[in-house]
Amino acid sequence: MLHRFENIIFDLDGTITDTSEGITKSVAYSLERHGVHFDGVESLKCFIGPPLREQFMAFCRSSDVAFGNDCVKVYREYYATKGIYECVSYDGIEKLLKNLKNSGFRVFIATSKPEKFANIVLNHTGLLKYFDCVAGANMDNTRTDKAEVISYLFEKAGIYDKSKSVMIGDCPHDVTGARKVGLDAIAVSYGFGVLSELQDLKPLCICARPDEIFEFLTE
C-alpha cells in the first residue's frame, strides 16, 4: 500500500521518550552551581527540547555565550552519569514504532540533544533497533537548531525526496524547523509543548496519543 509519507522523522525528548526527570535534575544541578534561583524543577521543563545553551541564556537573561557554554558543561556533569538514564518511553510508542516498521516506513530521529546522548537514551529504553538513522547535535553546542539537524539527517541517511518526509514533534520549534527545510509537520500534545502554541502553527494534525500518529499516516 502506498502512503503519502515514507520517511517518518521523530523528535526525541517529549515525543518518543519522557526525559523530564533527567533533564530537569541536570538543569537544576547546573543552575545551583551557578547561583541562579529557580522555582522548583517544574519551572525547568522549558529546557526540554530547545537547544540547551540558548535556553540557559534565555532563562538566566544573559547574552554571554561563554556563560551559556559553561552552564551546559556543568549540566552534563550530572546528565552524562545519572540524568541520561532517568527516562522512559511513552506508553504506546514501542507499538507505534513496530507498526511503522512492519508497514514499510523508514523511521528516523532528529533531535537537538547531542547525538551521542540520543543513542544512549534510545538504547537504554530498548528503542534504538527501530530507527534507520539517528541525527542529533554535536557535543560542542553546534548543530542544535532543528532545521540544521534535519538537514544533517537528510545527508547522513541519504534522503533526497523531501516530499515523502514528515517531522513529528511536541514543540513549536519542531514544526517551524521542519517548515524551514520544506517539510510538513505533525505535532503531538502528550509531550512538553503548549497546545495553544502548536495549534497556532497549524501543523497537518495534532495527535494526543501515539496510536493516532499511526492512524493519520496510514489513512
SS (H, E, C) the chain: CCCCCCEEEECCECCCEECHHHHHHHHHHHHHHCCCCCCCHHHHHHHCCCCHHHHHHHHCCCCCHHHHHHHHHHHHHHHCCCHHHCCEECCCHHHHHHHHHHCCCEEEEEEEEEHHHHHHHHHHCCCHHHCCEEEEECCCCCCCCHHHHHHHHHHHHCCCCHHHEEEEECCHHHHHHHHHCCCEEEEECCCCCCHHHHHHHCCCCEECCHHHHHHHHHC
Q: Which of 11, 13, 170, 174 is catalytic?
A: 11
Tell me, yes or no, if 70 is annotated catalytic.
no
What would the grid cell of residue 218 be? 496510514
Residues marked as catalytic: 11
